[in-house]
Amino acid sequence: MKRYTLSSLITRLASFEEALAEKMDAKGYAEAAEKARRHASEIREVRDFIIVEMTLEPIETLDPMEFLDEVATPGDVEGLRRRVYTKIAEDVEPVSGELADLLRRLSS
């Protein structure tokens, strides 16, 4: 578990998707890489949409980057997203319903 502010969590999630895209590109999975890039873009759009959302409480949740080594195929990416994003959505729901909804959608 790691502590985040809402904006740092959103930035970390976008970076995670970008890292997944690079990993899938390197393995020759262009379609999976493109999907990860779209997810990164959608996550950044949520950040831009949430102009003012303030909380004094830190968000404690998973660090998605810690799971990158588990990814070897597009199937691994989908399973990892389901597991990690479901947990992060639960943890972020009290702070940002918008981000929680996006993560649930991206994990399905």
CA distance 58 to 41: 24
Contact assessment for residue 47 and residue 14, using Cβ atoms and an 8 Å cutoff: yes
* Residue-wise pLDDT tens digits, 49-107: 775 555 566 889 999 999 999 999 999 999 999 999 999 999 999 888 889 999 999 99
Residues with Cβ < 8 Å from 36, sequence gap 6 or more? Answer: 17, 18, 20, 21, 24, 77
pTM of the model: 0.78
pLDDT of residue 45: 87
CA distance 4 to 90: 14
Helix or strand or coil: residue 2?
strand
pLDDT of residue 41: 95
pLDDT of residue 25: 95
Residues 31-45: what's their mean pLDDT?
95
